[in-house]
Protein backbone atom coordinates (compact mmCIF):
# COMPACT_ATOMS: atom_id res chain seq x y z
CA UNK A 1 0.00 0.00 0.00
CA UNK A 2 1.38 3.39 -0.95
CA UNK A 3 -1.08 5.68 0.83
CA UNK A 4 -0.22 5.53 4.51
CA UNK A 5 -2.76 4.20 6.99
CA UNK A 6 -4.16 6.78 9.39
CA UNK A 7 -2.14 5.65 12.42
CA UNK A 8 1.04 5.36 10.37
CA UNK A 9 0.51 8.85 8.99
CA UNK A 10 0.04 10.24 12.51
CA UNK A 11 3.51 8.89 13.34
CA UNK A 12 4.99 10.26 10.11
CA UNK A 13 3.79 13.74 11.08
CA UNK A 14 5.23 13.45 14.59
CA UNK A 15 8.52 12.16 13.20
CA UNK A 16 8.83 15.14 10.86
CA UNK A 17 8.82 17.68 13.66
CA UNK A 18 10.07 15.87 16.77
CA UNK A 19 13.84 15.62 17.01
CA UNK A 20 16.51 14.53 19.43
CA UNK A 21 16.44 16.77 22.53
CA UNK A 22 12.91 18.11 21.85
CA UNK A 23 9.89 18.44 24.16
CA UNK A 24 6.48 16.99 23.30
CA UNK A 25 3.12 16.02 24.81
CA UNK A 26 1.08 12.85 24.63
CA UNK A 27 -2.36 14.18 25.60
CA UNK A 28 -3.94 10.71 25.86
CA UNK A 29 -1.46 8.17 27.21
CA UNK A 30 -3.79 5.13 27.09
CA UNK A 31 -1.64 2.03 26.73
CA UNK A 32 1.47 4.13 26.16
CA UNK A 33 2.24 3.37 22.52
CA UNK A 34 2.44 7.02 21.44
CA UNK A 35 4.33 8.05 24.57
CA UNK A 36 6.99 5.43 23.84
CA UNK A 37 7.11 6.47 20.19
CA UNK A 38 7.69 10.11 21.19
CA UNK A 39 10.21 9.15 23.88
CA UNK A 40 12.25 7.33 21.25
CA UNK A 41 12.16 10.39 18.99
CA UNK A 42 13.38 12.88 21.62
CA UNK A 43 16.05 10.61 23.09
CA UNK A 44 17.81 11.11 26.40
CA UNK A 45 18.17 14.88 26.10
CA UNK A 46 14.48 15.49 25.36
CA UNK A 47 11.36 15.06 27.48
CA UNK A 48 7.77 13.89 27.04
CA UNK A 49 4.79 14.89 29.20
CA UNK A 50 2.07 12.27 29.03
CA UNK A 51 -1.46 12.67 30.41
CA UNK A 52 -4.38 10.41 31.22
CA UNK A 53 -7.37 10.64 33.53
CA UNK A 54 -7.29 6.88 34.22
CA UNK A 55 -4.85 5.46 36.76
CA UNK A 56 -4.82 2.15 34.86
CA UNK A 57 -3.63 3.94 31.70
CA UNK A 58 -0.84 5.69 33.62
CA UNK A 59 0.25 2.33 35.05
CA UNK A 60 0.13 0.61 31.65
CA UNK A 61 2.17 3.42 30.12
CA UNK A 62 4.66 3.31 33.02
CA UNK A 63 5.16 -0.43 32.51
CA UNK A 64 5.67 -0.06 28.75
CA UNK A 65 8.23 2.72 29.21
CA UNK A 66 9.99 0.95 32.04
CA UNK A 67 10.35 -2.22 29.98
CA UNK A 68 11.79 -0.20 27.10
CA UNK A 69 14.10 1.69 29.53
CA UNK A 70 12.54 5.00 28.51
CA UNK A 71 10.92 6.07 31.78
CA UNK A 72 13.70 8.56 32.62
CA UNK A 73 12.73 11.13 30.03
CA UNK A 74 8.94 10.95 30.50
CA UNK A 75 6.72 12.65 33.07
CA UNK A 76 3.47 10.74 33.52
CA UNK A 77 0.59 12.88 34.73
CA UNK A 78 -2.64 11.50 36.14
CA UNK A 79 -4.76 14.50 35.17
CA UNK A 80 -6.84 15.83 32.28
CA UNK A 81 -4.92 17.18 29.30
CA UNK A 82 -6.70 20.56 29.57
CA UNK A 83 -4.65 21.08 32.79
CA UNK A 84 -1.37 20.46 30.95
CA UNK A 85 0.01 23.94 31.71
CA UNK A 86 -0.10 23.16 35.45
CA UNK A 87 2.41 20.36 34.91
CA UNK A 88 4.88 21.76 32.37
CA UNK A 89 7.70 24.18 33.26
CA UNK A 90 6.85 27.68 32.07
CA UNK A 91 10.11 27.92 30.13
CA UNK A 92 8.70 25.35 27.70
CA UNK A 93 6.05 27.82 26.53
CA UNK A 94 6.64 28.29 22.80
CA UNK A 95 9.11 25.39 22.76
CA UNK A 96 7.00 22.24 22.23
CA UNK A 97 7.59 20.40 18.96
CA UNK A 98 4.48 18.24 18.92
CA UNK A 99 1.44 16.93 20.71
CA UNK A 100 -0.64 13.86 19.96
CA UNK A 101 -4.24 13.14 20.88
CA UNK A 102 -5.68 9.68 20.28
CA UNK A 103 -9.31 10.43 21.05
CA UNK A 104 -12.09 8.17 22.28
CA UNK A 105 -11.83 5.34 24.81
CA UNK A 106 -8.97 3.18 26.02
CA UNK A 107 -8.75 0.01 23.91
CA UNK A 108 -9.51 -2.91 26.23
CA UNK A 109 -10.73 -0.46 28.91
CA UNK A 110 -13.99 1.14 30.04
CA UNK A 111 -15.74 2.37 26.89
CA UNK A 112 -17.77 4.85 28.94
CA UNK A 113 -14.61 6.85 29.74
CA UNK A 114 -14.05 8.92 26.61
CA UNK A 115 -12.43 12.19 25.63
CA UNK A 116 -14.91 15.07 25.56
CA UNK A 117 -15.24 18.02 23.15
CA UNK A 118 -14.88 20.83 25.69
CA UNK A 119 -11.73 19.55 27.38
CA UNK A 120 -10.17 18.39 24.10
CA UNK A 121 -10.69 21.81 22.50
CA UNK A 122 -9.48 23.61 25.64
CA UNK A 123 -6.29 21.50 25.56
CA UNK A 124 -5.74 22.08 21.83
CA UNK A 125 -6.21 25.84 22.23
CA UNK A 126 -3.73 25.90 25.11
CA UNK A 127 -1.18 23.67 23.39
CA UNK A 128 -1.21 25.89 20.32
CA UNK A 129 0.18 28.65 22.56
CA UNK A 130 2.95 26.33 23.79
CA UNK A 131 4.04 24.99 20.37
CA UNK A 132 7.04 26.46 18.62
CA UNK A 133 6.76 27.71 15.05
CA UNK A 134 6.40 24.67 12.79
CA UNK A 135 5.25 22.50 15.69
CA UNK A 136 2.33 20.15 15.05
CA UNK A 137 -0.69 18.93 17.01
CA UNK A 138 -2.01 15.62 15.68
CA UNK A 139 -5.51 14.47 16.60
CA UNK A 140 -6.66 10.98 15.68
CA UNK A 141 -10.44 11.28 15.70
CA UNK A 142 -12.50 8.16 16.45
CA UNK A 143 -16.10 8.95 15.61
CA UNK A 144 -17.73 5.50 15.45
CA UNK A 145 -19.23 5.87 18.94
CA UNK A 146 -21.97 8.34 19.86
CA UNK A 147 -19.80 10.73 21.92
CA UNK A 148 -17.08 10.47 19.27
CA UNK A 149 -19.41 11.84 16.60
CA UNK A 150 -20.26 14.81 18.85
CA UNK A 151 -16.57 15.42 19.54
CA UNK A 152 -15.77 15.21 15.80
CA UNK A 153 -18.37 17.86 14.96
CA UNK A 154 -17.18 20.22 17.69
CA UNK A 155 -13.54 19.81 16.67
CA UNK A 156 -14.23 20.32 12.97
CA UNK A 157 -16.16 23.48 13.81
CA UNK A 158 -13.34 24.74 16.06
CA UNK A 159 -10.43 24.09 13.68
CA UNK A 160 -12.26 25.80 10.84
CA UNK A 161 -12.10 29.01 12.89
CA UNK A 162 -8.27 29.00 13.09
CA UNK A 163 -6.80 31.84 11.08
CA UNK A 164 -4.73 30.50 8.17
CA UNK A 165 -2.08 33.11 8.94
CA UNK A 166 -1.42 31.43 12.29
CA UNK A 167 -2.05 27.75 11.59
CA UNK A 168 -2.24 25.26 8.74
CA UNK A 169 -4.98 22.69 9.31
CA UNK A 170 -5.11 19.34 7.55
CA UNK A 171 -7.70 16.57 7.47
CA UNK A 172 -6.41 13.13 6.42
CA UNK A 173 -9.24 10.70 5.81
CA UNK A 174 -10.07 7.64 3.72
CA UNK A 175 -13.33 8.33 1.93
CA UNK A 176 -14.40 4.83 0.89
CA UNK A 177 -13.87 2.80 4.08
CA UNK A 178 -16.84 1.43 6.00
CA UNK A 179 -17.78 1.84 9.69
CA UNK A 180 -16.56 5.38 10.36
CA UNK A 181 -12.80 4.76 10.29
CA UNK A 182 -10.68 7.20 12.30
CA UNK A 183 -9.23 10.25 10.59
CA UNK A 184 -6.55 12.80 11.39
CA UNK A 185 -6.73 16.49 12.05
CA UNK A 186 -3.24 18.00 12.07
CA UNK A 187 -2.54 21.61 13.04
CA UNK A 188 0.81 23.15 12.21
CA UNK A 189 1.61 26.41 13.95
CA UNK A 190 2.90 28.96 11.41
CA UNK A 191 3.80 31.78 13.78
CA UNK A 192 6.30 31.85 16.70
N1 LIG B 1 -2.63 6.81 22.60
C2 LIG B 1 -3.06 5.70 23.41
C3 LIG B 1 -2.16 4.50 23.16
O4 LIG B 1 -1.11 4.67 22.53
O5 LIG B 1 -2.48 3.42 23.63
C6 LIG B 1 -4.53 5.40 23.28
C7 LIG B 1 -5.38 6.50 23.86
S8 LIG B 1 -7.07 6.05 24.13
C9 LIG B 1 -7.75 6.05 22.53
C10 LIG B 1 -7.77 7.52 24.83
C11 LIG B 1 -7.31 7.80 26.25
O12 LIG B 1 -7.67 9.13 26.58
C13 LIG B 1 -7.92 6.91 27.33
O14 LIG B 1 -6.92 6.22 28.02
C15 LIG B 1 -8.66 7.90 28.25
O16 LIG B 1 -8.58 7.57 29.61
C17 LIG B 1 -7.90 9.18 27.97
N18 LIG B 1 -8.63 10.41 28.30
C19 LIG B 1 -9.96 10.67 28.23
N20 LIG B 1 -10.21 11.95 28.58
C21 LIG B 1 -9.01 12.51 28.89
C22 LIG B 1 -8.59 13.80 29.33
N23 LIG B 1 -9.48 14.80 29.52
N24 LIG B 1 -7.28 14.02 29.54
C25 LIG B 1 -6.37 13.03 29.36
N26 LIG B 1 -6.70 11.79 28.94
C27 LIG B 1 -8.00 11.54 28.71
Q: What is the pLDDT of residues 81-93, one digit of tens each?
A: 999 999 999 999 9
Q: What is the pLDDT of residue 96?
A: 98
Question: Which of 30, 49, 145, 183 most suits a substitution to test ligand 1, by most atoms within 8 Å of the C-beta?
Answer: 30
Q: 76 — phi, psi (to 5°)? A: -95, 130
Name the band, by pLDDT with cuts 50, 70 and 90, for residue 183: very high
Average pLDDT, the chain: 97
Residue nearest ligand 1's atom 14 by CA: 30
Mean pLDDT of 146-175: 97
Cβ pair 69, 39 in contact under 8 A: no
Q: What is the pLDDT of residue 63?
A: 98
Handedness of CA 73, 43, 89, 86 (dihedral sign): negative
DSSP class of residue 97 equals E
The structure's pTM equals 0.98
The answer for residues whose C-beta is within 8 angstroms of residue 47's C-beta and 6 or more apart is 23, 73, 74, 75
Q: What is the pLDDT of residue 86?
A: 98
Q: What is the pLDDT of residue 163?
A: 97
Q: Which residues line ligand 1 (CB under 6 A)?
A: 28, 30-34, 51-54, 57, 80-81, 102, 104, 106, 113, 115, 119
Name the band, by pLDDT with cuts 50, 70 and 90, for residue 150: very high
Q: What is the pLDDT of residue 48?
A: 98
Q: What is the pLDDT of residue 128?
A: 98
Amino acid sequence: MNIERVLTFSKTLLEKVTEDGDFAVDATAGNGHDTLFLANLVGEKGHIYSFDIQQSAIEETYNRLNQAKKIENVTLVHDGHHHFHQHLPLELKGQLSSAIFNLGYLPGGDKKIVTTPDTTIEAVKGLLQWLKKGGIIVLVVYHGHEEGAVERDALMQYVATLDQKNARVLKYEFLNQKNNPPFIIAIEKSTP
